[in-house]
Chains A and B, each alone.
Chain A
Amino acid sequence: MTSKYETVIGLEIHAQLSTESKMFCSCSTKFGAEPNTNICEVCTGQPGALPKTNKKAIELAIKTGLALNCKIEPYSVFARKNYFYPDLPKAYQISQFDLPIITGGYLEIEVEGKKKKIKLTRIHLEEDAGKLVHKGAERIMGSEESLVDYNRGGTPLMEIVTEPDIRSPLEAKIFMEDLAHLLQYLGVCDAKMEQGSLRCDANISIRPVGQKELGTRSELKNMNSFRFVQMGLTAEVARHTELKESGEKIIQETRYFDTKTHETKSMRSKEEAHDYRYFPEPDLITVEPDKEWIEEIKTTITELPEKKKERYTKEYGLSDQAAETLISTKELSDYFESCLKIEKKPKEITNWILGDITAYLKAKNLNIKDINLPPGEVIELIKLIEKGTISGKIAKEVIVKTLNTGKTIKDIVSESGSTQISNEDELQKIVEEAIKNSPKQVEQYKSGKKAIIGYLVGQVMKASKGRANPGLANKLLKQQLD
């Protein structure tokens, strides 16, 4: 759709880092603990408590910076951002201001077949705030009182800021999906928007096509899924366009996406313009990563999704689509590769993973990491088929039974007596029976309609409850009839 306006979007993304402990103290970052049990003197701002920086958090940020083609700054400083809010017990957030740990860089995305680089401004580290529960109302506005849980307060956050390079809500969604994917592969963040481990705010404006200066922007919050990123921004583009068309003024404000009405709404409050009075955090010293440390961190970056996909298609001869599906989550590609390590049968393994296993997972609403099917079992199944012990059809039943019961493939096969009949004498009886029961088809065969043999093989399979070796059945039938 062409429009006379061009959309300009920049994103601010908050990613919770996968550390065990908090950014500046040793409290656990574990999600779902009883309220206010993972708190201490430091993260609740008790007098005299002193912060100490988590080494892992620094390393994860540098790792991300390396993967996103950024500059790792040789000198970075933490700063206090001062404001009052009940979820912030110290009345300041330790963040970074003019000297962030990472600057520049880009992420290449593909939009409708075209590659495009989205430039990054910076990545900095900071601490998360606590969690508020507003009583008696869904949103803060109507609430008489609020409850605060500080468990999340102090959790390491990495804020990624993009340049205003994004040109449509779809691009924004793709960027977020690709970024989440990358963060998962890097192991720096589990990147689940619905659970809040990855959050996205957007600055958005429109301008007449060809105009250089940016239009007045609004800031959009509360888009807690990839789909809502696109929907929220689409609604906001429509609102801006309507205001422009009717000659009304767009005001610079913060809005949120109402996921029920699919509208954006103003977060009007009496708050005056923020004056954060940033200053260097006097309780923390500078972070100055040297070359050796950065090189060491570089070695922890494993193969990234794009490279993996290329290897799957080139080395293993998988289709583009199969490779794409396998790399869609790190868990899935990890599973695929663990199978591959045991036996190099990429195509067979892929067929089972993307076929029956995926179908099972979908039906049960499970994740690959939740199932009780060790990779060795997939290989066992493939081998049993190859040896002719079970048929492909029986294998499909065996894998479902294995997944359901948690028993081994071998146990299920021997219990059900569903091993394939590859013994000629045993199969011969069934073949004879099939011929006896299908006089019409036998006649057709004899009169030259050779393709009818397929029907007879089918009868043998049916009579043997799928246990007959179809190749052998075919051979025996021919021997009888020819």
Chain B
Amino acid sequence: MKINIDQVANLARLNLTEEEKKLFGEQLSNVLDHAEELQKLNTDNVKPTSHAIPMKNILREDKVVPCKNTKDILKNAPEEEDNMFKVPRIIEE
């Protein structure tokens, strides 16, 4: 199955070289081919699932536990100003 590698790359905000496009395009096509293979199975009596583990309702109580590493998280900012993440222009004119 052919994949539109340019569109996939764009959605992931990746700049791929021609070589990479060819390589990843083939690899992703193989994944889709495999999925297509699976589609042939008869699943009429199988319930759709979102998860492989037979579990449900794993929930936590509504309690606040403050995080101790907020400063470290802020270190991931491309730039910091007033304890905020500073990012460049969002929408181009």
Q: Which residues of A contact B (CB under 8 A)?
A: 19-21, 26-28, 34-41, 44, 46, 52-58, 77, 82, 84-86, 99, 132-134, 140-141, 143-150, 269-271, 275, 277, 280-282, 285-289
Q: Can you name 30 A-B residue pairings with CB atoms under 8 Å? A: A19-B62, A20-B63, A26-B63, A27-B64, A35-B84, A36-B73, A36-B83, A39-B73, A53-B60, A54-B59, A55-B59, A55-B60, A56-B62, A58-B59, A82-B11, A84-B13, A86-B85, A86-B90, A99-B50, A140-B90, A145-B87, A147-B86, A149-B84, A150-B85, A270-B91, A280-B50, A282-B51, A287-B59, A288-B56, A289-B57
Q: Which residues of A have CB within 8 Å of B89?
A: 143-146
B65: interface (CB < 8 Å):
yes
Q: Which residues of A have CB within 8 Å of B65?
A: 21, 26
B70: interface (CB < 8 Å):
yes
Q: A46-B73, A275-B11 are in contact. Are A20 and B64 (CB under 8 A)?
A: yes
B43-87 CB contact bits vs A (8 Å, 1 = yes)? 000000011010111111111111101100110100001111111
Q: Which residues of B contact A (CB under 8 A)?
A: 11, 13, 50-51, 53, 55-67, 69-70, 73-74, 76, 81-93
CB distance from A118 to the nearest CB of B (A): 30
Q: Which residues of B have CB within 8 Å of A44?
A: 73, 76
| Known contacts A52-B60, A58-B59, A144-B88; 16 further A-B pairs (Cβ under 8 A) | A20-B62, A35-B82, A39-B70, A44-B76, A53-B58, A55-B61, A55-B62, A99-B50, A143-B89, A145-B88, A146-B86, A146-B87, A149-B85, A270-B91, A285-B56, A285-B58
CB pair A54 B62 closer than 8 Å:
yes
CB pair B73 A270 closer than 8 Å:
no
Q: Which residues of B have CB within 8 Å of A275?
A: 11
CB distance from B3 to the nearest CB of A (A): 14
Q: A26-B65, A36-B85, A147-B84 are in contact. Are A53 and B59 (CB under 8 A)?
A: yes
CB distance from B50 to the nearest CB of A (A): 4
CB pair B59 A40 closer than 8 Å:
no
**Residue in A closest to B67 when the chains form the complex, CB atoms:** A40
CB distance from B5 to the nearest CB of A (A): 15
Q: Complex formed: what's the CA distance from A286 to B49 in Å?
A: 9
Q: Complex formed: what's the CA distance from A134 to B57 in Å?
A: 40
Q: Complex formed: what's the CA distance from A134 to B81 in Å?
A: 13
CB pair B87 A133 closer than 8 Å:
no
CB pair A28 B91 closer than 8 Å:
no
CB pair A41 B67 closer than 8 Å:
yes
- Among A54, A85, A277, max chain B CB count under 10 A is at A54
Given B64, B70, B83, which contacts A26 in the complex, CB threshold below 8 Å? B64
CB pair A140 B87 closer than 8 Å:
no
Given B58, B66, B82, B84, which contacts A28 in the complex, CB threshold below 8 Å? B66
Q: Which residues of A have CB within 8 Å of B58?
A: 52-53, 285
CB distance from A87 to the nearest CB of B (A): 9
Q: Complex formed: what's the CA distance from A52 to B93 in Å?
A: 40
Q: Which residues of A have CB within 8 Å of B55?
A: 285
Q: Which residues of B have CB within 8 Å of A285?
A: 50-51, 53, 55-58
CB pair B62 A287 closer than 8 Å:
no
CB pair B84 A148 closer than 8 Å:
yes
CB distance from B59 to the nearest CB of A (A): 4
CB pair B57 A288 closer than 8 Å:
yes
Q: Which residues of A have CB within 8 Å of B76?
A: 44
Q: Which residues of B have CB within 8 Å of A54?
A: 59-60, 62
CB distance from B65 to the nearest CB of A (A): 4
Q: A35-B82, A39-B70, A46-B73 are in contact. Are A270 and B59 (CB under 8 A)?
A: no
CB pair A26 B87 closer than 8 Å:
no
CB pair B59 A39 closer than 8 Å:
no
CB pair A34 B83 closer than 8 Å:
yes
Given A35, A40, A144, which contacts B69 in the complex, CB threshold below 8 Å? A40
Q: Which residues of A have CB within 8 Å of B13?
A: 84
Q: Which residues of B have CB within 8 Å of A77?
A: 50
CB distance from B23 to the nearest CB of A (A): 22
CB distance from A298 to the nearest CB of B (A): 18
CB distance from A187 to the nearest CB of B (A): 13
